[in-house]
Amino acid sequence: MIDFQGEHGRWSIFSLGKREVRRVSSNWGAFNPKPLLHLDVPSFPPYSMAPVNVKKICCIGAGYVGGPTCAVIALKCPHIQVTIVDLNQARIDAWNSPDYALPIYEPGLVDVVRVARGRNLFFSTSIDVAVQEADLIFVSVNTPTKKSGVGAGFAADLNYVESATRHIAAVATSSKIVVEKSTVPMRTAESMRTILEANSKPGLRFDILSNPEFLAEGTAIDDLFAPDRVLIGSLQTPEGKSACQSLTNVYANWVPVDRILTVGVWSSELSKLAANAMLAQRISSINALSAICEATGANIEEVAHAVGRDTRVGPKFLRASVGFGGSCFQKDILNLVYLSESLHLPEVAAYWRQVVTLNEYQKRRFSKRVVDTLFNTITNKNIAVLGFAFKADTGDTRESPAITLIRDFLSERAHVTVYDPQVEVSQIWFDLSEALPDVPLEQIKKQVTIANTALSAAQNSEAVVVATEWKEFRDIDWRAVYDTMKKPAFVFDGRMILDRDALREIGFEVMTIGRGDQL
């Protein structure tokens, strides 16, 4: 072992089969000791530097990412056998259903599965076999925010990643490239490698790559067909670079090589958190401005358009809304906050935390506007909520702003009728029970009705609230809606999708996010 004092602390070089540099004490405090870089020395067991010609892929996790991502790999790479495995039998059964009643709704996904399933795409709960046969394994399991213990409310729960990694170690009979597809905290690749090396059969080697996924739900298939970029992070060793080349070769079947970015593994892990944090930050920025617009008479759409025309800013992701939802933004920002705090960077942590705080404020501000407008009380009033998914073109409800709004309306003792074209009824009851843990489901069911159409949801209501930007809400027969409602009939457009002037002509009182009431 060699010791030396560097700019950020004392460093030691160990020999651990591979040569690694570890910081054993540092000016950064808690974030040690972790291997920081690997030096170019031969490792055990001996390894061919030629990239592996990937013939069989296993994907652990058949969810919103594993399913579409690996289905598209199978479609685009007919010479590769792809098996997507999951512990959840019902989910796998749905992927295999003869009538293609897939477990997730995603435009274009059925067409991909129709072509590839049974050809070179398989869904299975036989995890051991799929792992054993694969040259390359994607770990695409969930990484939710921890609910209890150290870091509760901020840190990612790595239990599922660790279980999947231990499973690979326990059953693998040949060397593997293991790819972190899940969004994970920095340095998870190192933990995975340690677990794999400590628990696998002798003589096997595991190269860990980071390959975060950037697809957005609702446009997943388009995003996968033509990604802005594919990011692959690897150790900068010959073995790491060779593994990186193997995965690059898979994507190169349909992604132009100049869109495949290869970087260090830690940069890759951080880039995923950074991308989501910066996207969410834009939404919180525009939502903060929407509050100013509502108070002053400026129009947030005009402001966003004017600002977005500056090519340095760009027009995308500047749509004011009732708040962002989805399983990723909040979780990944909180993860970044936790990382910053662990690194003793409180100002950095506070900066990113504010993006989430503003989002909470935006949802609260919207439900308060509903109550204030309906003459300061909604007790016993009927509110129709159109949309329950966190965005259009998905049935996913994770962190959906609609849940927060409905919870607020119920706490004001309103009656709520919900309609969403894709979300399962059972999911709505599940989410509301979770949002109101102290209220028995029977009680919730007395206050909430689930409707089959937007028109029937609106019937006899005082107000219609648009919570999700489903296109069909634009095309409703709003005159028919008006006729069924109590008067004055209010519409609260939380997604800026409705034609205010046309609705006002019908007789509605219309409130739009980012617009003053009278303007």
Ligand X SMILES: O=c1ccn([C@@H]2O[C@H](COP(=O)(O)OP(=O)(O)O[C@H]3O[C@H](CO)[C@@H](O)[C@H](O)[C@H]3O)[C@@H](O)[C@H]2O)c(=O)[nH]1
Ligand Y SMILES: NC(=O)c1ccc[n+]([C@@H]2O[C@H](COP(=O)([O-])OP(=O)(O)OC[C@H]3O[C@@H](n4cnc5c(N)ncnc54)[C@H](O)[C@@H]3O)[C@@H](O)[C@H]2O)c1
Active-site amino acid positions: 328
Q: For the segment 325-364, give every residue that binds ligand X (CB under 6 A).
A: 325-326, 328-329
Q: Give me the least distance between CB of 226 and ligand X, in Å please.
A: 14
Q: Tell me, residue by residue from 248 to 277, as one string, x for binding to ligand X by CB under 6 A and - for no binding.
A: ----------------------------x-
How many beta carbons lie within 10 A of that of residue 53, not counting itself? Answer: 10
Q: Tell me, residue by residue from 206 to 245, as one string, x for binding to ligand Y by CB under 6 A and - for no binding.
A: -------x-x-x----------------------------
Q: Give me the least distance between CB of 120 and ligand X, in Å please.
A: 25
Helix axes of 66-76 and 109-116: crossing angle, nearest 10 degrees: 50
Examine residue 88 and tell whether it contacts ligand Y (CB under 6 A): yes
Examine residue 91 and tell whether it contacts ligand Y (CB under 6 A): yes
Longest dimension (CA), the chain: 81
Give, in order, the Cα–Cα distances in Å from 184 to each of 191, 222, 427.
11, 24, 26
Examine residue 324 and tell whether it contacts ligand X (CB under 6 A): yes
**Alpha-carbon gap, residue 111 to 122, rounded angstroms:** 15
Was 297 annotated as part of a binding site?
no
Q: Please give the single-letter amino acid code of residue 511.
A: M
Q: Tell me, residue by residue from 374 to 413, as one string, x for binding to ligand X by CB under 6 A and - for no binding.
A: ----------------xx----------------------
Residue nearest to ligand Y (CB): 63
**CA neighbor of 132 nearest in space, from 189, 81, 182:** 81
Helix axes of 401-411 and 346-373: crossing angle, nearest 10 degrees: 50
Instruction: Tell me how long the chain is.
Output: 519
Examine residue 216 and tell whether it contacts ligand X (CB under 6 A): yes
Examine residue 283 and tell whether it contacts ligand X (CB under 6 A): yes
Was 143 annotated as part of a binding site?
yes
Query: 152 or 278: whose CB is closer to ligand X?
Result: 278
Q: Please give the single-letter amino acid code of residue 321.
A: S
Angle, CA of 425, 494 and 457, to the nearest 5°: 40
Examine residue 322 and tell whether it contacts ligand Y (CB under 6 A): no
Examine residue 110 and tell whether it contacts ligand Y (CB under 6 A): no
385, 402 Cβ separation under 8 angstroms: yes
395: enclosing H helix or E strand = none
Was 518 annotated as part of a binding site?
no
444, 471 Cβ separation under 8 angstroms: no
List beta partners, residue 6. 9
End-to-end CA distance of the chain: 72
Examine residue 87 and tell whether it contacts ligand Y (CB under 6 A): yes
Angle, CA of 239, 212 and 27, to the nearest 5°: 75
Query: 217 or 393: whose CB is closer to ligand Y?
Result: 217
Residues at the site binding ligand Y, with contacts judged by CB under 6 A: 60-66, 85-88, 91, 127, 140-143, 160, 163-164, 167, 182-183, 213, 215, 217, 327-328
Residues at the site binding ligand X, with contacts judged by CB under 6 A: 183, 213-217, 276, 279, 283, 317-319, 321, 324-326, 328-329, 390-391
